């Protein structure tokens, strides 16, 4: 047994010696790194060099993509496409409608009207709003027509005198067709001159007002003109109120105060027109409207309520229309300015805005000495926003008559120059408010004024 075991063991040793084991050769780290590098280079996508838009072919010669029919509403991931769409939007011309006649901002029932929105520009923030208030028949529409005259009229005094006359309808020989053609021709001739309708002789004799509510007109110079109905006119009781009661006069008074406060809130310049020396009741109207005017927050035009809100007050121009010879004297001008300076001593309305009848060399650089040469600070005192317009007579072209004032054309031109050159402050706290943004603010402002309880409390204390 032992020999057998030894034999087996020997055979094993022989076999192990005859067939030696093959040595295992391990790969080095250098070879594995090189193989992985080759695989990464094979899987890596090739780099494509794209030329810039300036060096590439023009847009007209580029091939059209089959996906070009996709709508523009979908957001494109390419930033270049977004910039291109933005440039197209900016280069798109803004076509605005031109007004042939004024439209209603507040209608006859004192309701806000959105008709004027299509005439306003959403990209323009350089505009001027001028509002006019006054009693009945003082010439509010005439003042706005003078401001609107971008092109001078050859004989403006003749045009003013003819605007109050009625067409001659007593001729029997004329047919109806020829008469209608004549009226249409006359209207076409008046349209380029005066946009705001003025009282004719029939309305003056009946004591009926011409403007109802608030009319709005936008000029080509982006000046927005606002003409309102007369303040406290007896004819408003017959037209606006169905059942006349003992409180009808107070209702009309409150409506007019709301309109005056409304114009103070939305205008750059407020022109107060009179045709008398100084109407004390009219001054009280302005003071009451300023006192009852609510503080309109800037949140109405999409601004945060946390911002600091400051009240903005318009420029007030006191304009005397139909002035006589004695109204242009030095003593009279000095007396009128002292009266207004004391009446508006506690008012926040801006009375020193450069719209002066004569220049004050110590405070302002506005040169109006070429028109009113005989006025000075020594003779008439320090000037305020006061302007005098003379009455137009039928013998206006007679140069032999001493008028005591410059020609009406020169004064009207000077008035328009001063109003258009006034400082245009921000009406709200929103900077760079566009025309349409201002219009939306007007809607919110009128709603706030109608809901304000100050006017209702004021009506309770009226007699």
What's the mean pLDDT in 444-462?
Answer: 92
What's the mean pLDDT in 22-46?
Answer: 57
Q: Is the pLDDT of residue 16 over 50?
A: no
Q: What is the pLDDT of residues 272-285, one digit of tens each?
A: 999 988 888 899 99
CA dist 335 and 386 (Å) reads 12
More confident call, 41 vs 352: 352
Cβ 211 vs Cβ 132: under 8 Å:
no
CA dist 309 and 10 (Å) reads 112
More confident call, 95 vs 21: 95
Cβ 76 vs Cβ 82: under 8 Å:
yes
Q: What is the pLDDT of residues 375-403, one digit of tens each?
A: 888 899 999 999 999 999 888 888 888 88
Lowest mean pLDDT among 194-208, 294-308, 391-405: 294-308
Query: CA of 234: how far to CAs of 106, 128, 227, 253, in Å?
Result: 20, 32, 19, 10
Q: Indicate the SS3 state at residue 201.
A: helix
CA dist 360 and 366 (Å) reads 8
Q: Is the pLDDT of residue 204 over 60?
A: yes
What is the phi-psi region of residue 388: left when phi exceeds 0, alpha when psi lies from -120 to 50, beta otherwise?
Answer: beta
Burial of 454 (0-12, 13-18, 19+ CB in 10 A): middle
Of the spans 38-47, 300-309, 327-336, which averages the highest pLDDT?
327-336
Q: Indicate the SS3 state at residue 386.
A: strand
User: For the chain, how far is it from start to end, CA to CA, in angstroms?
Assistant: 149
Return the pLDDT at 328.
Answer: 93
pTM across the whole model: 0.73
- The domain limits of the chain are 96-155+193-296+311-461
CATH of 96-155+193-296+311-461, picked from 3.40.50.300, 1.10.260.40, 3.40.50.10790, 3.40.50.20, is 3.40.50.300
Edge-to-edge strands of the sheet including 214-218? Answer: 103-106, 214-218, 223-228, 128-134, 269-274, 315-323, 386-390
Average pLDDT, the chain: 77
């Amino acid at each position: 047994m032992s020999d057998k075991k030894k034999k087996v063991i020997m055979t094993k040793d022989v076999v192990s010696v005859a067939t030696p084991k093959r040595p295992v050769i391990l790969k080095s780290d250098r070879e594995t790194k090189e193989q992985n590098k080759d695989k990464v280079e094979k899987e890596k996508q090739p780099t494509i060099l794209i030329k810039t838009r300036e060096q590439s072919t023009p847009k007209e010669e580029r091939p059209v993509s089959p996906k070009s029919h996709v709508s523009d509403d979908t957001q494109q991931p390419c930033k270049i496409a977004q910039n291109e769409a933005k440039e197209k939007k900016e280069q798109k011309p803004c076509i605005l409608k031109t007004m042939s006649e004024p439209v209603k901002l507040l209608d006859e029932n004192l309701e806000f009207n959105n008709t004027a929105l299509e005439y306003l520009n959403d990209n323009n923030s350089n505009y001027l709003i001028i509002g006019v208030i006054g009693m009945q028949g003082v010439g509010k529409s005439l003042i706005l027509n003078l401001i609107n005259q971008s092109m001078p009229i050859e004989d403006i005094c003749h045009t003013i005198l003819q605007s109050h006359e009625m067409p001659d309808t007593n001729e029997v020989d004329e047919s109806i067709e020829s008469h209608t053609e004549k009226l249409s021709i006359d209207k076409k001739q008046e349209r380029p001159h005066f946009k705001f309708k003025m009282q004719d002789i029939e309305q003056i004799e009946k004591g009926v007002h011409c403007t109802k509510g608030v009319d709005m007109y936008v000029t080509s110079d982006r000046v927005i003109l606002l003409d309102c109905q007369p303040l406290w006119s007896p004819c408003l009781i017959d037209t606006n109120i169905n059942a006349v009661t003992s409180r009808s006069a107070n209702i009309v008074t409150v409506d007019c105060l709301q309109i005056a406060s409304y114009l103070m809130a939305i205008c750059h310049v407020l022109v107060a027109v009179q045709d008398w020396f100084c109407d004390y009741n009219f001054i009280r109207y302005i003071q009451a409207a300023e006192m009852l005017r609510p503080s309109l927050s800037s949140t109405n035009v999409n601004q945060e309520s946390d911002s600091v809100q400051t009240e903005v007050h318009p420029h007030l121009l006191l304009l005397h229309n139909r002035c006589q010879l004695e109204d242009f004297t030095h003593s009279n001008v000095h007396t009128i300015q002292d009266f207004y300076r004391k009446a508006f001593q506690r008012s926040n309305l801006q009375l020193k805005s450069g719209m002066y009848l004569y220049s004050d060399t110590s405070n302002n650089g506005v040169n109006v000495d070429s028109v009113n040469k005989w006025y000075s600070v020594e003779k008439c005192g320090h000037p305020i926003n006061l302007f005098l317009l003379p009455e137009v007579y039928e013998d206006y072209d007679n140069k032999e008559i001493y008028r005591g004032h410059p020609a009406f054309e020169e004064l009207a031109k000077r008035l328009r120059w001063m109003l258009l050159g006034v400082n245009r402050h921000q009406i709200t706290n929103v900077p760079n408010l566009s025309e349409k943004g201002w219009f939306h603010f007007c809607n919110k402002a009128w709603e706030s004024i109608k809901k304000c309880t100050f006017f209702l409390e004021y009506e309770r204390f009226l007699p």
